[in-house]
Structure 1
Amino acid sequence: MYQIIQYIKFLIKSTNQHGVHSPFVFNLVTKCFYNKNDYPAYNQIKKYRKSLLKNKHVIEITDLGSGSKKTKSNKRQVSEIAKTSGSSLKHAKLLFRLTNYFQPETIIELGTSLGIATQAMSLGNLDAKITSIEGCSNISAFSKEKLKTFKNINLINADFSNILQKLNLNKYDFVFFDGNHQKEATLHYFETLLPKAHNNSVFIFDDIYWSKQMTEAWETIKQHPKVTVTINTFHWGFVFFRKEQAKEHFTIRV
């Protein structure tokens, strides 16, 4: 019910490119969000996701985050995980377009799951160095095997809090937060990764309306002094650190 109410509020407040006066955001919306090109990579994304939706293999889950709202069982078929927890085809395509648009050199993903988003980001920029972290050892092992042909992806099985301080990277160009959907954890990961963000970095937070607490985390992040531009697409929250822009928050339908 919380999400339904928030979505109605979002629809009332949101706009498209015609309500955007920032050239940076306007270009992002028109050239990336609303890009209608049918990229060849979309076929690979569809094929991989479709194979997972047909996969009846059972995985024993160790959930270190907020868990699933669909089931409390710790044993789940790959097909079920892909359907309820994996990235949708629409979002996977958008992730492809985003990495294709920004061409980040370093990508961090918190929450590999079955690697649908990971594969999409890799296809968007095969030269990017992608570090994807998954807390569940069995899911991590499954995804590592499935994505072994992608040489630019490094899959790590670890607790987010333990590994983030140990990553040997000088900067983060693109960070996708898609793991632990809890307020305190989200804010902690944000603060941990913030020192290595730069002027052109983009942070993307999944499920900002997962719960009232997750929305509170999003509102806190928006107000951080280093954050200048944010975009709320309901499912995702985009954060930018562009010093040349005045602080402004956008609500965009995607």
Structure 2
Amino acid sequence: MLKALKEAVKPFVYRRAMRRAAAQLRALGGEFNLRVAEGLDLAGRGWMDAEERVWAGRIEELRRRVYTAAEDIALPDFGAGYDGGASGGAGRTISRNLGDFARGGSSPPVWAVMHLRMVRALRPEACLELGTCVGISCAYQAAGLRLNGAGRVYTHEGAPAVAEVARGHFDALGLDNVEVVVGPFQRTLAATLEKAPPPAYVFIDGHHDEQATWDYFNQVEPFLADEAVVVFDDIAWSAGMKRVWRRLAADPRMAAAFDLRHLGLCVCRREGAPSK
């Protein structure tokens, strides 16, 4: 009973954290900060326009279907647990129920709406995601780009079977502005960064490891758009993730950093870049 109550309260806590971050960004001023603040404030109020609600309804129906899927899916066996296929595994696979896997690895609606709202506010030419899972968070980003009229999501998934599930979902939704990159992040990320436009919205998920999170940010950072938002998932998942979040938030490359109680959101602005 108590656990169910805590889960029910979480979206309200997260939305309040978004609204507080929006207020702090407004106080900082600057056009880009104000755009980020607008996205966070609307997400914090759960607001979507009519077109956005149509897309959200379609994606949430897909979520309901995959959450009740009875079939199994093959995942790389990492011994210590699945890490989004980031490291490639040890050459073995394990079988897991797809519905259980999707429920454990997908962004819940409160964060999915934030992805949509940020993409709508920032209007990025490219979004980058590490950790596709079954494609829920990516679909919200891609829907936002579709409504913007331009842009592409480059999403990375290490497990081929998971990537195929996500591709099927994007096809079902008619989202052709997604590129699914399959393979261990260490072997695939560099090529994406070299060929894709500079991403202005980045979601680092899939591999909740202290050193890996730090390394992924350092690999991505030189390729970011002059002004960008980088979101880190599960910043309180472990002692290591808490440490790396504190390190990231204090890094001078971050113009601002906000603990949203589950996600960490950083505003990055390259020194000398004109505010847009």
TM bucket (normalised to shorter chain) is 0.7 to 0.9
- Residue 178 in structure 1 maps to residue 179 in structure 2: no
- Residue 58 in structure 1 maps to residue 58 in structure 2: no
Asked whether the equivalents of residues 18 and 41 of structure 2 are also in contact (C-alpha less than 8 Å), the reply is no
Specify the alignment match of 1:248 in structure 2.
none
Structure 1 letter corresponding to 2:188: I
CA shift for structure 1 position 68:
5.5
Secondary structure at 1:215 match in 2: helix
- Residue 219 in structure 1 maps to residue 246 in structure 2: yes
Asked whether the equivalents of residues 40 and 118 of structure 2 are also in contact (C-alpha less than 8 Å), the reply is no
Asked whether the equivalents of residues 183 and 217 of structure 1 are also in contact (C-alpha less than 8 Å), the reply is yes
Moved over 4 A (4+): 63-66
Query: Pairwise mapping of residues 202-213 of structure 1 onto structure 2 (< 5 A)?
Result: 202-213=229-240
Query: Pairwise mapping of residues 180-199 of structure 1 onto structure 2 (< 5 A)?
Result: 180-199=207-226
Deviating more after overlay: 104-113 vs 137-146: 137-146
Distance 1:125 1:65, change over 3 A: farther
Distance 1:142 1:36, change over 3 A: closer
Asked whether the equivalents of residues 229 and 242 of structure 1 are also in contact (C-alpha less than 8 Å), the reply is no
Distance 1:161 1:65, change over 3 A: farther
Specify the alignment match of 1:152 in structure 2.
177
Structure 2 letter corresponding to 1:89: P
Specify the alignment match of 1:200 in structure 2.
227
1:68-109: CA deviation from partner (whole Å, max 9, x where unpaired):
69xxx9321221112211121222122112212211110111
Specify the alignment match of 1:141 in structure 2.
164
Distance 1:35 1:86, change over 3 A: closer
Asked whether the equivalents of residues 106 and 171 of structure 1 are also in contact (C-alpha less than 8 Å), the reply is yes
Aligned partner of 1:37 among 22, 35, 48:
48
TM-score relative to the length of structure 2? 0.76
Asked whether the equivalents of residues 64 and 159 of structure 1 are also in contact (C-alpha less than 8 Å), the reply is no
- Residue 165 in structure 1 maps to residue 185 in structure 2: no
1:53-76: CA deviation from partner (whole Å, max 9, x where unpaired):
12112101115697369xxx9321
Percent sequence identity over aligned pairs: 21
Structure 1 letter corresponding to 2:140: A
Aligned partner of 2:28 among 22, 44, 54:
22
Distance 1:63 1:176, change over 3 A: farther
1:223 and 1:120 map into 2 onto residues whose CA distance is 29
1:98 and 1:15 map into 2 onto residues whose CA distance is 11
Specify the alignment match of 1:82 in structure 2.
102
Secondary structure at 1:165 match in 2: helix
CA shift for structure 1 position 135:
0.7
Aligned partner of 2:125 among 105, 121, 141:
105
Quote the RMSD (CA, aligned, Å). Answer: 2.9
1:96-130: CA deviation from partner (whole Å, max 9, x where unpaired):
12212211110111000000111111111122211
Specify the alignment match of 1:249 in structure 2.
none
1:216 and 1:227 map into 2 onto residues whose CA distance is 16
Asked whether the equivalents of residues 230 and 237 of structure 1 are also in contact (C-alpha less than 8 Å), the reply is yes
Specify the alignment match of 1:252 in structure 2.
none
Number of matched residues?
A: 234
1:53 and 1:184 map into 2 onto residues whose CA distance is 31
Structure 2 letter corresponding to 1:50: R
Unaligned runs of 5+ in 1: 246-254
